[in-house]
Amino acid sequence: MKERVNFGSKIGAILAAAGSAVGLGNIWRFPYETGNHGGAAFIFIYLICIFLIGLPIMIAEFSIGRHSRANTAGAYKVLAPGTPWKYVGYMGVLAGFLILSFYSVVAGWTLEYTLQALSNGFSGMTQSKEFTLFFASFSSSTFRPILWMFCFLIMTHIIIEMGVKKGIEKSAKIMMPALFLLIVILAVCSLTLPGAGNGLEFLFKPDFSKVTPKVFMGAMGQAFFSLSLGLGCLSTYASYFGKEANLSRTAISVGIIDTFVAIIAGIIIFPAAFSVGISPDAGPSLLFITLPNVFQLAFGDIPLLAYLFSLMFYILLALAAFTSTISMHEVVTAFIHEEWKFSRRKAAWMVTVGCIVLGICSSLSFGPWSDFHLFGLNIFDFLDSLTSKIMLPLGGMLISIFTGWYLDRRIVWNEISNESKLKVPLFKAYIFILKYIAPIAISLIFIKELGIL
């Protein structure tokens, strides 16, 4: 088999995978879902989803990638030649491309807001109306959001062109520690605000009465998106893991880092919001309307603090988004490079240009094209729903079925135990989850998301 690059170190591999997982999903959805669905009770359920279903599927993706040492579609051709399993890989590549195109639009917004924060552009604003107006006029305009999306994709492109070791791994080793530092500083600042305790209570007070079966399934969907599962992103990264990497341990580290960042994001957002009496909601409006307002009000007495807090927060968001866009780009680039035999450079350009074109459509769907609908949704929402509600759960389900039922058990064992060098006391439980629990649980999310339940 041809020589293939590897990540240079175990920590580099963990940080790259964690960089993929930690993204906008952690910051705009998790805290809100937690607050509204039973606080600590939701966190408890979310942890069960992560550890019981998310991690086994992540380990399955890791095994598929590392064993085949190929991109996600190529992996199935190596492991199951001549079978239709390769379509699971194709679907993953397509999902990666589609998510990258609309995710980059929002990622681009984080750059605009970083610039606004840097130039102290929010300082004169005092009323929530002003923030709403600013966001509405920015996101619906034609050129500016496209320009930022373009910048974000070009930045992502540059890292991808620099390669797996010098680009992806090195950037993760710099950006992830920076992200941890920022997130801890922001959480400490937020906790010192008067009335911060109410925010913590909202976030953590366990209320099991709010936990319905739907909430359970919501937690699973969130766990899935947040861990970057279902499209072969982590299997592509695992194809660059070394022989000595401990797959279960890497998966546990990624799960812990991802959950830690999501919970700390809640500790930043809720104490600040409650201290100024604003009730936070989910989605883009939380990040781009509510929070800039909250930061101005919360730290209004000390303008320098308001300035620094906003600036650090938007840099944090941009970093989180950046390590995720890099991972999605790599899924598609590796596929085009290895399967269609284009040079890595050309493959990367094809992805970047394609995403810019589709990203322009997504961006325009907030403004001039807002009346254009597919299945009742604008282009951005359509791509979002198609990927996160259909393609990712379906991909995840098929990955667990593939590993649990189809793949030779010796391959699965050798990958997880590094050729019997590691002890794997839970191997039987792992296989049982992949065979039964994960496919059934994911079909439930799927059914719920499609509105059948």
Residues that bind ligand PFF (CB under 6 A): 20-21, 23-26, 96, 99, 225-226, 228, 231, 233, 324, 327-328
Helix axes 86-118, 143-162, angle to 10 degrees: 120
CB 47 within 8 A of CB 259: yes
CB 24 within 8 A of CB 106: yes
What b-and-e string marks burial along 12-37, b requiring 16 or more CB atoms within 10 Å of the CB? Answer: bbbbbbbbbbbbbbbbbbbbbbbbbb
d(CA 110, CA 440): 37
d(CA 395, CA 446): 11
Give SS3 for 377. strand
* 304 Cβ contact list (under 8 Å, min separation 6): none
Give SS3 for 205. coil
Beta bridge partners of 377: 374
d(CA 299, CA 307): 9
Report the candidate in 271, 327, 316, 257 with the shortest Cα–Cα distance to residue 61: 327
Report the candidate in 222, 215, 248 with the shortest Cα–Cα distance to residue 393: 222
375, burial (CB in 10 Å: exposed 0-12, middle 13-18, buried 19+): exposed
Beta bridge partners of 359: none
| Structure token pair of residue 25 | 């999903």
